[in-house]
Amino acid sequence: MFVTPIVSALSFLVCVYIYQKWSRYSAFRTAAAKYSCHRPRRYPHTEPFWGYDLVRKLAKAARKGQQSELYEELFRQNGKTFENRLFTTNVINTMDSANIQTVATSSFQDYAKSSEGERFLKPAFGRGVFTTDGAAWKHSRNLIRPIFSRSDMSDLNYLGPFIDRLFEKIPRDGSTFDLQPLSHKLGLDIATDSVFGQSVDSLLIETPFESFQFVKSFNAMLAGTGKRKRFGKLASLRFAFDTEWKKAYTEIHDWVDVQVKRALQETEDESQLSSEKGAKSEESSPQPRYILLYEMAKQIRDPVELRFQTLQVFLPAANTSPLILANCLFYLARKPEIWTKLRQDALALGDQPLTFELLRTLIYFRHVFWETLRVRGLSSPIVREAIRDTVLPVGGGPDGLSPIFVAKGTEVAMHIRGQGHDTDFWGEDVHTFRPERFTDRRILWQWVPFFGGPRICLANQQVQTQFLYELVRLVREFERIENRDECIEYIETTNPLMKSKNGVKIALFPA
Ligand code: HEM
């Protein structure tokens, strides 16, 4: 009795499957004829249905801190563009500059960020500049953009007290300490101050309990996000009973909501705020300081929207700058001659105030910044999902030079770290930390650490300026740096952001 409907349903599903396959195939044939497309190299899966073999390999490499090395090997074996299966999705991995430029610019409209796979992030991160597309994304980006362009130019003196606190935590008798956690606290203190107008002061000698709790919850929130990211669309299933992440992000939301409430109250009467802030700025610095939350609160009055919009900027602000500073010192400790050179440049400035314009003139410092980003910048690929059938210019065919047809629903994973380690562009010594490689080198799309096109990182100038300020202060204060880690190699751990597994164990000697 039940057999007939079951058979009918199954037949229907089979017909849908065949129709989908056929329409994909005919779309490919049309594109192949029109653009001379060929298929990219396929990763040789041992389990081709779900691609679970590669998922396991990646998870194992991540556990051992060898994810970047694994991708390097995959590109070496499969060329600069190859395809793999990730559960139900086809992923095109590419480190080819022509493809990355196309996705970022000319085919921008063919791709979106907010794929199914990122949906699991919504409870923690809501909607904001990183998780939206189209009009909602434009709205978020337009809200944020002016704050970055103004903060670039503004007085950098507000960073001073935070660096002083860092100096208080650094032993001055040449004993060993780990800079990595200190750098993360520095980043957190600066980011909470500049995004919310209220620092958690985790670097203060007498650190308040809430600050410890904040750091703990924030780390748990990030760790939970990292775990989920690796499982993509299956994350909700895999972590359905894991309540720790929810507890962590709820605590962070509660903290942010207190700041949001205060900002909404204080911006209720705009003129009152302007005069108060004006007074504040006169006391401490000649220019007004722009605090993201307060600027946004003038335009967004919904507390939940305000929470998520600011949280999405806070996240990179609190993570990326400290990571770059810590990674830089990791390498400088192993190449102390670079420290000496930086110190000479910094001392040559005399006691001029460290302004944005002055910092921009420090060419060697900037090369050190770029080299740190190249060797140990952000390691996760930038992923986009094709929202319509489209084409990538290279990567197809046996020689990898033909265009590729990208069917709707395919993910394109752009590996910026791969670009930064491309021996065709950089030469054979890609693993050596050598800032001099940037001297007289013209770089366009060959390496885009801040991405490019309409979604280029909004903070690229600000990140560099903050880094230069911190490094100048450090080399002025300390004459010498020494590595105190027996392990010379950088062992990476990537949960959720890449950092050194062994920390950054160094000694600094005051002048
Ligand atoms: C060394 C540090 C940093 C690097 C290498 C970096 C890199 C990037 C990259 C590659 C993107 C594009 C991501 C994508 O489209 O999927 C991006 C976007 C963005 N970054 Fe950064 N970033 C850094 C620091 C920061 C900081 C400190 C902030 C905030 C204070 C920030 C704010 C943003 C914003 C708002 C976007 C979103 C742009 C959009 O989608 O319209 N970044 N960043």
Question: DSSP of 1-66, one letter per residue?
Answer: --HHHHHHHHHHHHHHHHHHHHHHHHHHHHHHHHH---PBEEP--SSTTT-HHHHHHHHHHHHHT-
Atom 18 in ligand 1: residue holding the nearest Cα: 457
For residues 314 and 147, what is the distance between their CA atoms, to the nearest angstrom?
13
Quick one: DSSP state of residue 381?
P
Atom 9 in ligand 1: residue holding the nearest Cα: 450
**CATH number of the 130-268+301-377+459-511 domain:** 1.10.630.10
**Residue located via tokens 């507000």:** 158
Question: DSSP of 164-202, one letter per residue?
Answer: HHHHHHS-SSS--EEHHHHHHHHHHHHHHHHHHS----T
**Residue among 87, 276, 301 nearest 197 (CA):** 276
- pLDDT at position 243, please? 87
Cβ-contact 244, 224 below 8 angstroms: yes
For ligand 1, say whether the CB of 203 is within 6 Å of any of its atoms: no
For ligand 1, say whether the CB of 79 is within 6 Å of any of its atoms: no
Give the residues of the chain that fall short of pLDDT 50.
271, 273-286
- pLDDT at position 16, please? 72
Nearest 10 degrees: CA dihedral of 375, 376, 378, 384?
Answer: 30
For ligand 1, say whether the CB of 458 is within 6 Å of any of its atoms: yes
Q: Which long-range contacts (CB under 8 A, 24 or more apart) does 340-343 make?
A: 340/480, 342/368, 342/471, 342/475, 343/475, 343/476, 343/479
For ligand 1, say whether the CB of 324 is within 6 Å of any of its atoms: yes
pLDDT in tens, 400-426: 999 999 999 999 999 999 999 999 999
Please report, for residues 322, 330, 414, 441, 483, the alpha-carbon distance to residue 431 in angstroms, rounded to integers and kept in the order given: 22, 14, 20, 18, 19
For ligand 1, say whether the CB of 144 is within 6 Å of any of its atoms: yes
For residues 43 and 83, what is the distance between their CA atoms, to the nearest angstrom?
6
> How many H helices and E strands in the chain?
20, 13
Cβ-contact 509, 480 below 8 angstroms: yes
Q: Could you tell me the distance, in angstroms and rounded to a whole number, from the CA of residue 421 to the centre of ligand 1? A: 20
Ligand 1 atom with minimal separation from the 195 CA: 30
The pick from 121, 457, 460 for probing ligand 1's pocket by mutation, whose C-beta has the most ligand atoms within 8 angstroms, reads 457
Q: Could you tell me the distance, in angstroms and rounded to a whole number, from the CA of residue 249 to the centre of ligand 1? A: 21
For ligand 1, say whether the CB of 451 is within 6 Å of any of its atoms: yes
Ligand 1 atom with minimal separation from the 462 CA: 27
- pLDDT at position 227, please? 77
Cβ-contact 483, 334 below 8 angstroms: yes
Q: What angle do CA 370, 373, 375 make, to 5 degrees?
A: 105
Q: Could you tell me the distance, in angstroms and rounded to a whole number, from the CA of residue 336 to the centre of ligand 1? A: 30
- pLDDT at position 225, please? 82
For ligand 1, say whether the CB of 139 is within 6 Å of any of its atoms: no
Q: What angle do CA 93, 108, 195 make, to 5 degrees?
A: 90
- Two tokens, residue 132: 């939206």
- pLDDT at position 283, please? 46
Atom 1 in ligand 1: residue holding the nearest Cα: 320
Q: Could you tell me the distance, in angstroms and rounded to a whole number, from the CA of residue 420 to the centre of ligand 1? A: 17
Q: Could you tell me the distance, in angstroms and rounded to a whole number, from the CA of residue 225 to the centre of ligand 1? A: 17
What is the domain partition of the chain in residue ranges?
1-35, 38-125+379-448, 130-268+301-377+459-511
Q: Could you tell me the distance, in angstroms and rounded to a whole number, from the CA of residue 104 to the centre of ligand 1? A: 14
Cβ-contact 404, 472 below 8 angstroms: no
pLDDT in tens, 214-251: 888 988 888 888 777 767 666 776 777 788 999 999 99
For ligand 1, say whether the CB of 317 is within 6 Å of any of its atoms: yes
- pLDDT at position 113, please? 87
Question: DSSP of 348-366, one letter per residue?
Answer: TTTT----HHHHHT-HHHH
For ligand 1, say whether the CB of 313 is within 6 Å of any of its atoms: yes
For ligand 1, say whether the CB of 449 is within 6 Å of any of its atoms: yes
**Residue among 444, 412, 326, 422 nearest 377 (CA):** 326
For residues 382 and 379, what is the distance between their CA atoms, to the nearest angstrom?
9
Does the N-terminal peptide bond of residue 496 adopt cis geometry, omega within 30 degrees of 0? yes
- Two tokens, residue 185: 């606290």
For ligand 1, say whether the CB of 459 is within 6 Å of any of its atoms: yes
Work out the number of other CB atoms within 10 angstroms of the CB of residue 285.
14
**Residue located via tokens 């935590």:** 169
Ligand 1 atom with minimal separation from the 194 CA: 30
Which residue numbers belong to the known binding site for heme? 457
Question: DSSP of 330-343, one letter per residue?
Answer: HHHHH-HHHHHHHH
- Two tokens, residue 509: 């000697």
DSSP reduced 3-state for 287: coil
Within 13 Å and on the Cβ side, how many CA atoms surround 240? 4
Q: Exposure pattern of 211-235 as b/e (b: 16+ CB <10 Å)? A: beebbebbebbbebbbbbbbbbbbb
